[in-house]
Structure 1
Amino acid sequence: MKNIHIIVATGEWGQDNLRYRRHRLAEFLQNEPDTKEVIWLCPTPDQTDSSMSKLPNGIKQWAVQDLLPQKVFRFGRYVDSFYKKKIELFLEFLKQSRESFNLILWYTFPGFPLLADLFSWDKVIYDCSDLWAAPISGSKSVVSAFRQKVISSAEDRIVKRAELIFCTSDYLQKQVVRKLGVSNTGHVHTFENGVEYDLFAGEKEIADVAPGFDGTILGFIGGIKPKLDFALITKAARQKREWLFLFVGPDGTGGHPEFKELLQEPNVLWTGSVPPLEVPKYMNLVDIGIMPYKPSPYNDAVFPLKLYEFLAAGKPAIGVHLPSTKKYAEEMVYEHVNHVDGFIEACEKVEAVVYDSVYANRRRELAKTKDWNSVFSGMADVVFEKRNWPLLVWADTDQLN
């Protein structure tokens, strides 16, 4: 019997013109021989009749309209009464497949928690990639406290309902274990983010957005959000005028004043959003990949998608306040920095060996072991019980801190 995979996603497929882990997971499942189809179930602030549409890659999308289009009303995605009737329309559609296919529900964020209990699923899986309830900016407010309470409640329900839970970092795994209790964790596994290795290692073309500049280019590529330390980069840009700081990606800061201030620096360039398949060309333009994050609970959980993409392109990477990546720190390959004062020093350190073939080959070698197909194949083995995995056991609750 073939499988129908339902991916509960954060937004419509093309939102922000970015590709996250959930996009790659959906495409991997779509290409599996025992898959009948993949359905991308997502909220949308736009008006919709909740009907099915087919994406160019063959994946089907069902969008569930939010309570109201304004961002402040997105809490309705986590509160049963605001989405139940709309989800029931989707389940009516799905009933026709109940007898002919295995129906597997994948949560990739804690939205629509009631969905897991409204239908007879063959398996419910939670792929946890973020500390969803924590404020992304790290700052606290009355609004963020309300948001945290609502999302935490929804996630608690999903965690307790899921037969399998995958986490993208050890930190997230510990948070899930805390929710479950130490005696019930054999179904919780860590599978960190990966890379489309051939796409980045095989690209030869270089993006032409900095004509005439022949100095060192430090690049951040991805969604530009308040989790980034803009003040750190502004300080670095003022100290190192001979460097160009390149930002590639959509502005998700909501008009953050520190990002606006950063863009006033003459050696800072922001391209805006670029098509996903163009990203490797920008990786080739960059000399040093930077991931400058703020210290916050949200960032403690982050395992950045770009780490292995920089390395697959042969470029050294610098990470700031990313404890989940610390175990991969390696001289001249990936430099992990715990404090902002060490950022420039780390960049200067790798600048001298950016194109040293020995180090470039080592970066690619490390990235190749983290190809997305290997990551998802391991997860699929767990889902379909093709491989036995050791139980996660904690000696005592002190290890959860």
Structure 2
Amino acid sequence: MQISLRKSDLTKNTFVFVTIIFLYLPLANVAGYNFTFGTAAGFFVIMASLPLVLQARRYLALLFLAWVYPLVIYVGHLALNTRYALGFMEFTTSYGIWVLSSYIVWLGFQPRVRYVNANWTTLLALISGFAVLQFIDNHYGTQLLTTMMIDLGTYNPLTYDRSGTLFLENFRAIGTYYEPSMLGRIAVTIGAIILLRQQKLLLVSVCLLGILYVSKSFSVMVLGVGMYMLLYTRLSLKHLGIIAVGAAIILGAFGDFILDRLALSHSNSFSSSYIRLIMPYFAVKDVLPEYFFGVPIGGNERVVQYTIATIFPLHEPKITNGLYEFVILFGFPALGLILGMLWYIVYLVIRGERAQAVLLFFLLLSTAASSSYINIESSLLLYFLIANLRMAQVEQAQAEDSADSTPDTPSGPDQLPASRAVDLSASS
């Protein structure tokens, strides 16, 4: 396995490259909102894509529905004077972020996209290499790489390590991000792009296993295993046997880790995975029967206050599992959408359309590992993923029909300049 770190690779597609590395680097606090490098990059993508959207666009009705539905829910709660009837500014702030976030995701599905390409192999190698060095430095060195992230403001150990044991043996690498789960999510996202566009299985597997070891990120396990199954399994007894053997090996090697992350062993009742995967269920169970169509955007903290906080003395102030949050905000229609997407993922795998299956899988579950759909940085990451997986479809079609290609047509994923608009109108 060879990884080229030539200067030309490092300077290629600088915008995407730097944006992903410093996605959550804080720049300023604007009216209580943490304005990060990723936020600025999101606004830049919106402005740069505007001419393309004016020329051609698709799925406009879905975007309009995503914007109107929360307004209807908010007005309904105001009219009924429910306990989730938020103040105007409280709702408007969160709603504004939702509008921008959903718009960025929508951009990834447009016929032409801009600023989506990067040298993904180099980026994954740098992210995983830095995380491994950070882990080694924290255990055997000066803790300089972790302290640097604290000084930059990207990382606060108390956000996930409630004992404050920053430099002890249970340290989990965070890379340049605010927590291990986000490090894991970003690594698996880049891994999916590489597997579908460049098929570098060994590189991706080594990097993800390294990040899993140093970060103990449950998102690497969940998203990574799901991604590999969607890409490489076949519906046959042979492959089902391979899956069973692989599952046994994973459980044997990482069984204690999985149980510990889910807080099912060692009397650890409040791991971050438990807080994100288990606790929000109690909120959904209490909210949906009473509010069938959901609660207003911005009501996340109130939901925790009226549900989770009454059961668990130790909890996060907000639900940070994006999938649970989506169900709470959009109600039973969201559950129907989720079930429909799961069925369609299976249908796509059966048909062999694995790029689309992985795209929907990440769109559905990536925020369950970390962050929210009401988050510009998270949506920008989804934008990069969606556009690149659609590019993988176009490249595969071009490879299958190489007789129709011309010498001027870019022949590889790293041949497209970041500033050039990429035509994805041929993708489904």
Give TM-score, length-normalised by structure 2: 0.27
Q: Answer 1 or 2: which has greater strand percent.
A: 1
- Specify which structure has the bigger relative contact order, considering alpha-carbon pairs within 8 angstroms and separated by 6 or more residues: 2
Q: Between Structure 1 and Structure 2, which shows a larger proportion of helix residues?
A: 2
What TM-score comes out, normalization by structure 1 length? 0.29
